[in-house]
Homo-oligomer: A and B are copies of this chain.
């Protein structure tokens, strides 16, 4: 009986510690859903704060291998799917995006592919507000990155 109490106390303690680490002093929750890509550097996949979910710029990395997907269209699709998975882990669908910003390294080559993938994923719409930019370089000399903000009112 004593052992059960000790285990329960230990679990409560460690869970309490985990929860403290996961939330910031003001209550920002750091997201690391199961099945998502792993971050190795000084960044996290996303956060929840109040009713909003903020997803870091996502690229076409396969969560199974943590390496870049081959093929422009497939890689762009994977970037959107990575964003989708993180948003869904907090109860937001793609349709609940309040804004996306799309970064490509060639507007003429990649914007049509972005449009095609969005039609596939959002169906007939409505689509989110989008800002699309051709920039000089992405991490790992990648071709595409998408950053999304979502709305998912916290359960009261």
Contact = CB atoms under 8 A, between A and B. Distances in A.
A130 B43 contact: yes
Interface stretch (A5-13, A66-74, A96-104): A96-104
Q: How many copies does the complex hold?
A: 3
How large, as a class, is the contact surface on chain A? 35 or more
A91 to B, nearest CB: 7
A72 B122 CA distance: 35
Given A26-B153, A96-B24, A137-B107, A118 B50 contact: no
Nearest to A86: B129
Interface in A113-131: 114-115, 118-119, 122, 125-131
Interface in A37-85: 41-47, 49-52, 54-57
11 contacts: A27-B151, A28-B97, A44-B130, A49-B151, A52-B98, A54-B129, A54-B149, A57-B131, A103-B133, A135-B135, A135-B136
